Amino acid sequence: MKLRYFDHNATTPLAEVAKTAWLQAVDTQWLNPSSPYRQAAAVRVRYEAARASLAELLGVGVSRVVFTAGATEANNAVFRHWGDRLSADARVGVNPTEHPSVLEAAKAFLGERVLWLPLLEDGRVDLNVLEQQIQSGALTAVSVMAANNETGVIQAWPEIARLCQQAQIPYHCDASQWVGKMPLGGLSDCGYVSACAHKFGGPKGQGFLLLPEGEEGCHILYGGAQEALHRAGTEDVAGVMAMLAALESAAVGEAELRDAFIGWICHELPGARVVGIEADRLWNTVSLVMPQFQSVRWIRRMERAGFLLSAGSACATGKSTVSHVLSAMGLETAEAGRVLRISSGVETTAEDWQALADALLSAWGDLQREAQASNSQVISID
């Protein structure tokens, strides 16, 4: 049975170019780049060249790029830094549909200084309200992601970056779902940007953080002098090389196949609807509310049919509550419990999308028949 993967927002398969770059670095660039001999210095040169290449892709100065162990580490670093630097009466505007690594870090390091930003019905931060808050001086800093990992809803991050620049307040943008899927232009206007490699074909445990130009006080890890004193620890040269190779080869996809799937499934499956459909969304993402049956039943049924998809953020798997993203968008608990998150990759074909639609309709029929049989059995027992 062919396995079709529709959970790219959780993680992506390692790209061949990334695997090649990693293996080459493991074989030829395994020396500690901080060691004093010339062979190690050669590794340092290549490592810094990779930083310069990433900076060029992002349109930023080299000194802004800090390599991290992923976006979760980067997000925690930003909020810990803000927690240390901002005054007790500061107010930091945070989008309530952020990834858990942002929400929990904000709560842990800022506490009552967090001000949850109001949303429009489609899941976007209300830009008019945010602009008023920034211009009135009510906010000391802002954190709003580029695109949501569950719904694909794209925030107005370029406009938010502009507003924060004009007010001269810090802006953090978690771009984990943007980098590698969408154009990189404009991210340089955000003060702090976090991203992780495994969302675009790179290795897990590798990412980066963009800091504002001249930032010196943000210490992710203490110890050695690596990463210009921002993050101590022996450099993961192979991981950086693999991440760069993956990003250089990443392609921006088109939404036509996704939209055809949406049109077909919503026509053939009465009651199904897409969360955030009124907003601009990532080309690869569908947050689909099913008309009946809990998400887990759909997921297990689809897995048996050869399709891997999810109900929401992989980082929230195992929690008994419904998605905080869907709750923040106003979905009722029962409705949120029927949501499937479907996320494709650039290699996903029209045949894959059609096969998924067919499998969902087949599963719908099976689940209905099972429910009817169960109800009949209960009635006969009574």
Element (H, E) at 289: strand 285-289
User: Which residue is associated with the tokens 């053939």?
Assistant: 268
Q: Considering 164, 218, 266, 315, which one is annotated as catalytic?
A: 315
Q: How far apart are CA 59 and CA 13, in angstroms?
A: 27
Contact 213, 193 (CB under 8 A): no
Instruction: Specify the 3-state DSSP secondary structure of 174.
Output: strand
Any idea what DSSP says for residue 207? E
Distance CA 204, CA 72 (A): 12
Closest CA to 91 of 135, 140, 126: 140
Both tokens of 180, joined, read: 């590698």
* Count of other CB atoms within 10 angstroms of residue 28: 13
Query: What is the 3-state secondary structure of 339-362?
Result: EEEEECCCCCCHHHHHHHHHHHHH
- Catalytic (active site) residue 315: yes
- Report d(CA 128, CA 220) in Å as an integer: 34
The answer to whether residues 139 and 115 touch, using CB atoms and an 8 Å cutoff, is yes
Question: What SS3 state is found at 118?
Answer: coil
In the structure encoding, which two tokens stand for residue 277, read together? 């459909």
Catalytic residues: 315
